[in-house]
Structure 1
Amino acid sequence: MGIENKPNKEEAQDQTPVKTNLPVSVNLRQQTNLKQKQSTDSIISSCKKIGNTLVLCDLLHKGLIICNLDGNDIHHIPLSYTPQYITEIDSNTVAVSCDDRTIQIINISTRSITSTINTSGNCYGISYNDNNLYVVIGMSIIHVMDLTGKVIRTIPVPSDYIYDITVDRYRLVCVDDTSIYCCSLEGKVMWKFKKDELQDLRHMTTDNEGNIYVTDHIKETVVVVSDDGKHHRELLTKSDRLHQPYGIYFDKKENSLLVCNDGDIFLFDVKHQ
């Protein structure tokens, strides 16, 4: 399936074409129905693609699902807490933010929990950068901590209800329900992106160009926003078989976009100009 993206109305009205680094097309490489593979429902809240391995947070069964791209060779790692968001530490290790004020460090090769970090509030978005974890605590502040859980510093958040974050190119990108914020690593807002059609943003990811991809759970879309926040495009919709998507992850090594529905996993190849 090929999806050729058309310029949005704002861009079409410009007299002079504006060059952006937004993707020009996405093509479906792989679709996997996870329910058929494991004969049970799952609610995938967050996801990562590490090489050819998928690591999925399953809200419904309170654990991680590890499988290959076609949904075979499935393994489950049960957790004591409900997983919310996930970040890659290295090719064998992930950190998972959970409810009940907990972060769990997990070895996906041995499928074992190597350590548990207790936090001062419920955990949401989590991102690993330069040997530190950046974690949204209670949706109201970001703690920067080492892998033992020692808090090094705190960063103010630009909104009352921040869900997901990522550290990318010496900047911090955050989302709440309806807006995307690009901040310095000290928390100073550099720009904010908000459109009326965005209703329920919970998860986001960035590509090599600094573009930001977000899933809108209610609108059932994926929207991409340019690295300066000035341009955007609706990249995927319900016509692409999205159904209440949450998890999203951009594989920067191979320019592919992983999107997870409640029951389906989609892998798209992304092309830029």
Structure 2
Amino acid sequence: MAPRQITLAEMKDKSSKNYYENTRKAEEYFNQAKTPVKYNLPVSLALRQQFNIKKSTNENLYIRNCIKTGNTLVFTDLINRRLIICNSDGTNIHHIPLSYQPWYITEIDSNTVAVSCAFDQTILIINISTRSVTSTINTSGVCSGISYNDNNLYVVIGGSIIHVMDLRGKVTRTIPLPSDDIWDITVDRDRVVCIETTSIYCCSLDGKKMWEFEKDKFEDLTRVTTDHEGNVYVTNESTHTVIVISDDGKHHRELLTESDGLDWPCGIYFDKKENTLLVCNYMDGKAFLFDVKKN
């Protein structure tokens, strides 16, 4: 609330108690207005590496997700039913063929990933060192977003609930989601961050909504990841952008655009150990690794 206006009589009477009180309040008010508010958002990104994971120009890709584990990058190639694996500089590209279409991926450890094959209602546990599928989990419905945290797999089932399960597929509990059309999730810091086409939600691990972020220009949100401070990074496929949202859901900024090389970006992953952000386009085979600069 702004300070009460000082009357002419009070201005003439410099000894007036009200004069000094209102002057003090006015100074505090305007000093607060001049103090810049710092938000916990990245200042900028510095491109570390750009590379192409296509082996030939006539090769068709449909990359739906990606992760970085140490010096290894892993991409889900939906149309070719395989994982694409390479070094973090884009070299030494090789493939792991699969029996199902891989949509979403999460890291279990430095050698192991879990992949959800949505419409096949199947989760694959894959050793990327031996390039082999070590186990298969059948789900009770279409399985989309997947995240591994604290020895549990969190899997979106049917867009409306999360099944929490162990690596053998035993469901230990169910978490309700704030929408019936959730695509992707990430679990971190005792919370679930999830997205649908135009909205971002943050919920507790028992499903209580903590905040929701929605903007008219959000047309086609596809994948989500978080950094070690809780900031949320989302790809917006049809606008060719990456957006970052503060950990309280109150502030956001456009972080990457077409001018940075984005062309229908889909996969996104924040490497908390190296403070880097991996982003990939879904058809042209281009991937980008950025160093994230903080306030």
TM-score range, shorter chain: over 0.9
CA offset digits 1:57-109 (Å, max 9, x no partner) = 00121110111122221121111111110000011000000031100000000
| TM-score, length of structure 1 as denominator length | 0.93
Aligned equivalent of 1:209: 229
The residue aligned with 2:288 is: 266
CA RMSD of aligned residues (A): 1.3
Q: Which amino acid aligns with 1:114?
A: T
8 Å CA contact retained: 2:193, 2:201? yes
Of stretches 69-78 and 82-91 in structure 1, the one that deviates more from structure 2 is 69-78
Matches within 5 A, 1:90-109: 90-99=109-118, 100-109=120-129
Structure of higher CA gyration radius: 2
1:117 aligns with 2:141: no
SS, match of residue 54 in structure 2:
helix
1:250 and 2:270 correspond: yes
Counterpart amino acid of residue 71 in structure 2: N
Query: How far does residue 38 in structure 1 lie from its aligned partner after superposition?
Result: 8.1
How far apart are the structure 2 equivalents of 1:218 and 1:158?
A: 24
Q: Deviations over 1:215-259 (max 9, x none)?
A: 001111000000000000000001111000000000111111000
Check conservation: 1:37, 1:72, Cα contact below 8 A.
Answer: no
Decide whether the 8 Å contact of 2:124 with 2:133 is kept in 1. Answer: yes
Matched, 1:74 2:128: no
Alignment partner of 1:29 is 2:51:
no
1:139-158 matched pairs, under 5 angstroms: 139-158=159-178
Letter in 1 for 2:99: S
The whole-number CA distance in structure 2 between the counterparts of 1:35 and 1:90 is 26
Q: Residues 52 and 38 of structure 1: is their aligned pair in 2 closer, same or farther, counting only changes over 3 Å?
A: farther
Q: Which residue of 2 aligns with 1:4?
A: none
Is residue 186 of structure 2 the alignment partner of residue 166 of structure 1? yes
Q: Which runs of 5+ in 2 are unaligned?
A: 1-32
Is residue 204 of structure 2 the alignment partner of residue 184 of structure 1?
yes
Task: Select which of 39, 48, 72 maps to 1:20.
Answer: 39
Q: What is the TM-score when the length of structure 2 is the normalising length?
A: 0.86
What is the percentage of aligned positions where both structures have the same residue? 70
One-letter amino acid matched to 1:218: S
Counterpart of 2:65 in structure 1 is 46
1:227 corresponds in structure 2 to: 247
Where is the helix percentage greater, Structure 1 or Structure 2?
2
TM-superposed deviation, 1:15 = 5.6
Asked whether the equivalents of residues 206 and 250 of structure 1 are also in contact (C-alpha less than 8 Å), the reply is yes
How far 1:36 sits from its partner (Å)? 4.7
Contact in 2 for aligned 1:132/1:147 (Cα 8 Å): yes
What CA deviation, in whole Å up to 9, does each residue of 1:157-192 have, x standing for no partner? Answer: 101100010111011111000111000000000000
Equivalent position amino acid for 2:245 in 1: V
Change (3 A) 1:109 1:38: farther
Measure the CA separation in 2 of the matches of 1:195 and 1:58: 30
In 2, Cα distance between equivalents of 1:251 and 1:148: 26
The residue identity in structure 1 corresponding to 2:291 is: D
Match of 2:30?
Answer: none
Structure 1 runs (4+) greater than 6 angstroms displaced = none
Q: How many residues align?
A: 260
User: 1:114: how far off?
Assistant: 0.1
Distance in 2 (alpha carbons) for counterparts of 1:195 and 1:265: 27
Contact 2:122 2:138 in 1 (8 A): yes
Say if 1:162 and 1:174, in contact at 8 Å, map to a contact too. yes
Distance 1:133 1:74, change over 3 A: same
Alpha-carbon displacement from aligned partner over 1:21-72 (angstroms, at most 9, x marks no partner): 1000101110002225686232210101011100110012111011112222
1: CA distance between counterparts of 2:57 and 2:143?
28
